[in-house]
Amino acid sequence: MDDTVETSLSDVSAAPSIDSHEGMSLPRAVRIASSGSYDSLQRHRRRNPRARRPVKETLDARSEYTTSQDDGTAEHRINQYIIKQEIGRGSFGAVHLAADQFGHEYAVKEFSKSRLRKRAQSHLLRRPRGPRRTDTEFNSPLHRHPSQDDSENAKNPLYLIKEEIAIMKKLNHSNLVSLIEVLDDPTEDSLYMVMEMCKKGVVMKVGLEERADPYDDEHCRCWFRDLILGIEYLHAQGIVHRDIKPDNCLVNSDDVLKVVDFGVSEMFEKDSDMFTAKSAGSPAFLPPELCVAKHGDVSGTAADIWSMGVTLYCLRYGKLPFEQQSIFELYESIRNDTVDFEDEQDEIFMDMMSRILEKDPAKRINMRELREHPWVTASGAEPLLPYKENTAQIIEPPH
């Protein structure tokens, strides 16, 4: 059992633990005490999210840089939010802790508009010639067609992250990080996404040759159940995440795991089988069917399930299951190598992992089978609530 306590379980107001990493302040992966209170059945019974408030879009935000009257330190404000320390890094800017006028805390993700515009242009240049797929075409993603309409984008810079916003607006589930507001300050280079705060940061920091302390069985099971509920809901909304990994699994002050980062997610038409030929995601978490050049359409849901398995392996063993120095060797290893489960004694766990990390996506376990697997349900003693009871009705914003 891992009994290390590095973050207080009870102190909700405590500042997140910070690791100094190459000059940056990054949240330390949570290590949470085994308090004996991980009653998975109770935990997963309690989750019934309420109707969500519509996401606010603010196009005339104002950034202010002032000096704090309390201690003379510099203060950055965006409208009602006071921006505090950096808690993470995204590919288009930093993620900061922020507090509003009532002291409620949020995570604010920043995007550089100039970098987003460069990305949009390079997408436009790379777009294949020939007839464009239309949005009504079978199985075509509903977004990710780079904008041809620059005037649209000049009028409303939020257009630059419209895919991520559109996806997050659709979501209302306690195992997915929710979006509260998006802001643009027309006089600055940044766009901001205000999200619910996950105080304990990433569930684990693990990477190529980066080891972490593994979690005990009960934590692994509890968090994997959270992951199942979040991703099952996501898939039911016609969205595949495509970048599931410990770095995108955050933990809040109640020790609930929430999936974040819909930057490469894809949204499909209703009743689509969610097949896609797009390659995205982090190499070590890619399924074998995406580790080949010029792969055709693959199942987005089966790909997410593979990445969930790689994530669970990380939580349980504190390291990646496939680790190679070059991308070529890594892809070859994912396609051909069997995973080393050290001297794992838990046969039920082994059975589930072998069905998740099944190389053939057509034979891989599906979400319905996974949520009923004896390792997940403690041999039937702790079944997950049926899907419908775990989701809230989404209330459409008034028009």
Ligand X SMILES: Nc1ncnc2c1ncn2[C@@H]1O[C@H](COP(=O)(O)OP(=O)(O)OP(=O)(O)O)[C@@H](O)[C@H]1O
Contact residues for Mg ion (CB under 5 A)? 248, 261
Q: How far is the CB of 106 from ligand X (least distance, A)?
A: 8
Encoding tokens for residue 304? 């997410």
Contact between 202 and ligand X per CB under 6 A: yes
What 3-state DSSP class applies to 234?
helix
Q: Which residues are catalytic?
A: 243
| DSSP per residue, 17-45 | PEEEETTEEEEPPP-----S---HHHHHH
**From ligand X, Mg ion, none, which one binds at residue 202 (CB under 5 to 8 Å depending on kind)?**
ligand X
Contact between 230 and ligand X per CB under 6 A: no
Which one among 107, 290, 320, 384 touches ligand X, defined by CB under 6 A?
107
CB 314 within 8 A of CB 204: yes
When computed from its CA atoms, the radius of gyration of the chain, rounded to whole angstroms, is 21
Cα distance between residue 336 and residue 145, in whole Å = 34
Cα distance between residue 25 and residue 30, in whole Å = 15
Binding-residue pattern over the window 17 to 56 for ligand X, x denoting contact by CB under 6 A = ----------x-----------------------------
Binders of ligand X among residues 252 to 281 (CB under 6 A) are 260-261, 263
Contact between 87 and ligand X per CB under 6 A: yes
Encoding tokens for residue 199? 């105080």
Encoding tokens for residue 399? 């028009």
Summarize the annotated binding site as residue ranges: 109
Summarize the annotated binding site for ATP as residue ranges: 109
Binders of ligand X among residues 337 to 366 (CB under 6 A) are none
Contact between 300 and ligand X per CB under 6 A: no
Name the pairing type of β-strands 179-184 and 56-58: parallel
Piece of 86-94, 127-135, 137-145, 269-277 that binds ligand X (CB under 6 A) = 86-94
Q: How far is the CB of 349 from ligand X (least distance, A)?
A: 27
What 3-state DSSP class applies to 352?
helix
Residue among 95, 154, 143, 144 at smallest CA distance from 119: 144
**From ligand X, Mg ion, none, which one binds at residue 160 (CB under 5 to 8 Å depending on kind)?**
none
Q: How far is the CB of 253 from Mg ion (least distance, A)?
A: 20
Contact between 206 and ligand X per CB under 6 A: no
Which one among 91, 121, 148, 379 touches ligand X, defined by CB under 6 A?
91
- Angle between helix 300-317 and helix 217-236 axes, rounded to 10 deg: 160
Contact between 250 and ligand X per CB under 6 A: yes
Which positions ≥6 away from 45 have C-beta within 8 Å? Answer: 385
Contact between 207 and ligand X per CB under 6 A: no
Residues forming the site for ligand X (CB under 6 A): 27, 87-92, 95, 107, 109, 177, 195-198, 201-202, 247-248, 250, 260-261, 263
